[in-house]
Chains A and B, each alone.
Chain A
Amino acid sequence: MKTIIKKEIKMMLREKGNLFFLIIMPILFIVMFGSIFGKTGHFSLTIHYIDDDATSMSSAFIHQVDQVKGVKMVHEKASDLPDVIDKIKKGQLSFLLVVNDGFEASLKDGKQAHIKFYQDPAMESEGGTIEAILQSIADDYRKQKIMNTLHALGQSNEAIAKTLEPAVHIKKITPAVESINTITQVVPGMTVMFVFYIMISMTRRFFKEKDSGLLSRCQSTGMKPIEYLIGMWIPYALGVVVQCTALLAFGHFVYHLHLGDLKALCLLILALSLCGSGIGLALSVLVRGENQGMAITQVVALGGAMVGGLWVPSYLLPSLVQKIGHLTPQFWAQKGLQDIFAHGAGVSGIWLSLVILFAFGLAGLFIAVIRLPHFLKSAA
């Protein structure tokens, strides 16, 4: 077995593609996803506006909207109104705010001022956000109007403040040890996703040995089949450990990813390694050829990443997809890693993830052992 392990480790190290596919490519993905989704904090909704009133109060209103974090106001000429509406119809622009003539006069007279809000129907959810922003600003105006009225009735500032105090106060509390951000999503997500690509390397090696006649020649030396299987498996399990260590270390040193409880993290990496390489082992002896192995790997790796919440947080997925995701090892690996990184979980906090990942890995090994005689026979 030691001879097979040594040989396979040498083969892994000499195959330059392994370094690229198992380490460099995931790092590129982490950097790419990190730079795309890491900028969500600076993400802004652009609202085009036309100020028909052109008074100090209408300007103040627009300025107030512009001050809202994530909103960018773009001025349009009043004469361009038909063009802008046409562009919204075509989906070329998303939102338009029109402050009607008489805005300031209405407010001064205590009458209702009017604004118009146009939106691209395709931007329904974003439009809802803007409506809420506008409603909030309108509420401030209403509050001001009530304050003016109460002042006129002779009430003190304290009494007015008490009257306008919200009936329900919401206090925002974030119990996580570290804030959950793009990095705590992307780094473990990409790490887990690329772990399953070890299945391609494994299938390729098994079929190369089989098709070249090396496997049948090795059989003639009296090598025990189970020793061959374990000898072929251990280097890839170690490969996954190295891969996870390298990617998480990259996340830690480059993106300051908080690694949490290292004992729990080591155990989870071990479980993930057993899981990925165990499934890879089963696949290698089950499939009819390298191409079939590659196709199934893509389905397992990409499909699992999609429904397992590796690309976007699981809670953002439709409930049915979330339920399906719970059946994938990717979900449990991601959950375990995020629990360690963001929720301060130790070994006891990730036991379910560990059990499920080990179970997947052992199931893979079991299938491989059962199927091995058939694979060896086909090699002869």
Chain B
Amino acid sequence: MDLKNPQPNRETLLEVDHLRKTFGKLEALKNVTFSVNTGSCFGLLGPNGAGKSTTMKILAGILSADSGSARLLGKNVLLDKSVVAKNVGYVPQEITLYEEFTALENLTFFGELYGVKGRELRKRTEKVLEDTGLAERARDKVKTFSGGMKRRINIGCALLHRPRLLILDEPTVGIDPQSRNRIFEMIRKLTEEGVTVIYSTHYMEEVEQLCDEAAIIDHGEVMAHGPLGELLERYGRKAVYLEVTGLKEIPQHPLIKAANREGIGWILESENLPELMQWLLSVASNQRWEVKQLDIVRPSLEQVFLTVTGTALRD
């Protein structure tokens, strides 16, 4: 499978095809193409200014694209805004709540904007308050909430019309780890309930923890995309970490593609890790090395990013 332009292997909810967007002379999106499968948590990973927010705003019906298409449930969202209003919940990066209003008033306001009314709205606001863990603070003004609580209700406001697709633009910016975990729990619960999530972030570890699919976007282009495992497999570094006392230089061997110092040990890259480890252990036995640690290095998204973009993730 071509990971840069993979073909969907299960039901596709969203297909974004050659999306392009300029702001004056600035080309924010050059060529954004990816697809999102139903029920997945899709990570949109890239540094600030890569084009993540622009992509999300186009998908949320806030911005129009210069060219390309984005099909949600088979309908082009660029032409049919009603499909977005009905099926997409958008949570912007900023906390977009009325601080003078209570949590309940904010939820009611957004619920009504999404077209939910009456008893059904009351039922759904209650559920959202339960899900966000803010039922007891429902009648408190949002301005009295902590940053994490505001973030949770900010997400809750996008759930009242029961969207098929939830777009989250950096929802954990500026909050403590505890609140972040709470948000992660909310997202996991939503995906279990069948909601597809697009999760934008520049934190690699968040994508690794939450997402099953991801796209790496940089300078307005999708550099790679696909299931997380495949991305790591294809672009991740295959290496072992070796820590040995008294070893000044790693002997050359065809199994070792590259050897680099890391801390007090070595990172040895190879295409065949089991064989390399076997060889290292036999050499250690023969040479009487004192092996303190020998581990397979888990491939990371950071490494994937470095491989596909040629640069480290910038702020």
Chain A residues engaging chain B, CB cutoff 8 angstroms: 2-3, 7, 10-11, 14-15, 212-214, 216-223, 380
CB contacts (< 8 Å) of A11 on chain B: these are 98, 100
Chain A neighbourhood of B84, CB < 8 A: 220, 222
Instruction: Collect the chain A residues with CB atoms within 8 Å of residue B57's CB.
Output: 216, 380
B residues near A219, Cβ cutoff 8 Å: 61-62
A–B Cβ pairs within 8 angstroms, 23 of them = A3-B113, A7-B101, A7-B109, A10-B105, A212-B96, A213-B92, A213-B96, A214-B97, A216-B57, A216-B62, A217-B92, A218-B113, A219-B61, A220-B61, A220-B90, A221-B110, A221-B114, A222-B81, A222-B82, A222-B113, A222-B114, A380-B57, A380-B63
Decide if B60 is an interface residue (CB 8 Å cutoff). Answer: yes
| Interface residue ranges, B against A (CB under 8 Å) | 57, 60-63, 81-82, 84-86, 88, 90, 92-94, 96-98, 100-101, 105, 109-110, 112-115
**Cβ of A7: which chain B residues have Cβ within 8 Å of it?**
98, 101, 109
Residue of A with least CB distance to B117: A3
- Are the C-beta atoms of A3 and B81 separated by less than 8 Å? no
B112 partner residues in chain A, CB cutoff 8 A: 2-3
For the residues of A in contact with B, the DSSP-based class is: helix
Chain B residues whose C-beta falls within 8 Å of the C-beta of A218 in the assembled complex: 113
| Residues of A with C-beta under 8 A to B113 | 3, 218, 221-223
Tell me, rounded to whole Å, the shortest Cβ–Cβ distance linking A330 to chain B. 33
Does A220 contact B62, Cβ atoms closer than 8 Å?
yes
- Inter-chain contact B60/A3, CB cutoff 8 Å: no
A-B pairs with lowest CB-CB distance, top 9: A222-B85, A221-B113, A220-B90, A3-B112, A220-B60, A213-B94, A217-B96, A213-B96, A380-B62
- B105 CB contacts on chain A under 8 angstroms: 10
Once the chains are docked, how many angstroms separate the CA of A219 from the CA of B113? 9
In the bound complex, do residue B109 and residue A3 qualify as a contact, i.e. CB atoms below 8 Å apart? yes
**Cross-chain contact B96 with A221 (CB below 8 angstroms):** no
B4 to A: closest C-beta gap in Å = 29
Name B109's closest neighbour in chain A (CB-CB): A7
Chain B residues positioned under 8 Å from A213 (CB to CB): 92-94, 96
Question: Closest CB of chain B to A223's CB: distance in Å?
Answer: 6
Known: A10-B100, A217-B90, A222-B85. 16 other contacts (CB 8 A): A3-B112, A3-B113, A7-B101, A7-B109, A11-B100, A15-B100, A212-B94, A216-B57, A216-B62, A220-B60, A220-B62, A220-B84, A221-B85, A222-B82, A222-B84, A222-B115
Q: Given the complex of chains A and B, what is the CA–CA distance between A11 and B97 in angstroms? A: 12
* Shortest distance from the beta carbon of B103 to any chain A beta carbon, whole Å: 14
- Cα(A79)–Cα(B97), bound, Å: 80
> Hey, which chain B residues are within 8 Å of A214, CB to CB?
96-98
Q: How far is the CB of B121 from chain A (nearest CB, A)?
A: 11
A117-B92 Cα distance, complex, nearest whole Å: 80
Please name all residues of chain B whose beta carbon is closer than 8 Å to the beta carbon of A220 when the two chains form the complex. Answer: 60-62, 84-85, 88, 90
> For B114, what are the chain A residues with a Cβ–Cβ distance below 8 Å?
221-222
Which A residues touch B62, using CB under 8 A?
Answer: 216, 219-220, 380
